[in-house]
Amino acid sequence: MLTLAALCFGAFVVIADRVLFGTLLDRPPDFSDPGVYIVNGLLAATPFLWLAYRGSKRLLPWLAGMALTLWLWWRFLQDGVAYQRAPDGSGVDMAFALLMLVSPVFIGAACASLDHIMRQHSERGT
């Protein structure tokens, strides 16, 4: 069940990104490249798949990961919309695109660390 929740969150992030991108630019949502969206959804779901693998049912690591993921995707969406509205010829911000690519590893590590700390704390009974 946790794995399904993780995959649904990844799908939600990508679908919301495409819908918001289209809406903010007065265009229909573009889902013409399903392979890219599947990979992006799996990347967005990675931290939560890690938590699901750990069997974590603690809410705080999940919420922290969701907040970080949504914030990064929102920031990436803002950059894309701003560029589409006023293209300056610079193209994609490659540093931020690379950050987006590796962010699931760091978010997943942060979530798993938080989960581990919470697990240790609850096992001590304090």
Report d(CA 83, CA 15) in Å as an integer: 20
26: phi > 0 → left, psi -120 to 50 → alpha, else beta; which? left
Span between the terminal Cα atoms of the chain, in Å = 29
**DSSP assigned state of 58:** -
Structure confidence by residue, pLDDT tens digits, 92-109 = 788 999 999 999 999 999
* 126 has a pLDDT exceeding 70: no
pLDDT at 53: 93
- Whether this prediction's pTM lies above 0.85 is answered by yes
Structure confidence by residue, pLDDT tens digits, 1-25 = 999 999 999 999 999 999 999 999 9
Report d(CA 53, CA 108) in Å as an integer: 11
Give, for 1, the enclosing helix (H) or strand (E): none
